[in-house]
Copies of this chain bind each other. A is one copy, B any other.
Amino acid sequence: MKDNSILIVVSGPSGVGKDTVVKEMMKINSNFYLSVSATTRKPRKNEIDGVNYYFFDKNKFDSLVLQNKFLEYNSYCDNSYGTLRSEITNNISLNKDIILIIEVNGGLELRDKCQKELGLKCVLIYILPPSLSVLEHRLKDRSSETKKEIRKRLSVVKKEIMKGLDYDYFVVNDNYFNCAIKILDIINKIKTE
């Protein structure tokens, strides 16, 4: 049932809990494959090549771009990030639905290319915090940033959310489990349409 497999792009502002929500989704439904992005950013402690990211140096990344190996790629904070075409095609052939946690520009690009180049349905889901003040608390809890830095980050978040308004679905993450269930419902609806 290759034709029934879809791409699920999950985006949202930093601190919103994308990774945890997707982990919940994968606990409930084992037929997902979580796409591994490629990046030129240096691996952090505990990060494993091919698991957290495919880590490439700049030359390698650029040469893969020239060879048209990426479905989408973007720069963010001086580093490049992208989705390898093989990452999607290899796993679609295994009859999996593929989840990608990527930023909004990449998501919008993927939606365009997905149908045209791969003949696959792609759904873009944007996760919102229950409120910006909740997000502010979460960012405070997990970082050593000053109040001023967090305020600045929140103004970036507003711009990010603005871009996310072009996504297919908005889901509020007031609770990881409920949010995962809500996304699974959306996927289910799309797959049975």
Contacts and interface: CB of A to CB of B under 8 A. Distances in A.
Interface stretch (A42-50, A75-83, A168-176): A168-176
A132 B166 contact: yes
Contact of A169 (B130, B167, B168): B130
A128 interface: yes
A161 interface: yes
A17 interface: no
A171 to B, nearest CB: 6
A30 interface: no
A121 to B, nearest CB: 14
Interface of A is mostly: mixed
B172 A132 contact: no
Contacts of A170: 128-131, 172
A133 interface: yes
Number of copies: 2
A51 interface: no
Contact of A162 (B131, B158, B167, B174): B158
Interface in A67-121: none
A128 to B, nearest CB: 5
Contacts of A133: 168
Contacts of A162: 158, 162
Contacts of A132: 165-166
Contact of A165 (B158, B167, B169, B182): B158
A167 B131 contact: yes
Contact of A168 (B131, B165, B167, B168): B131
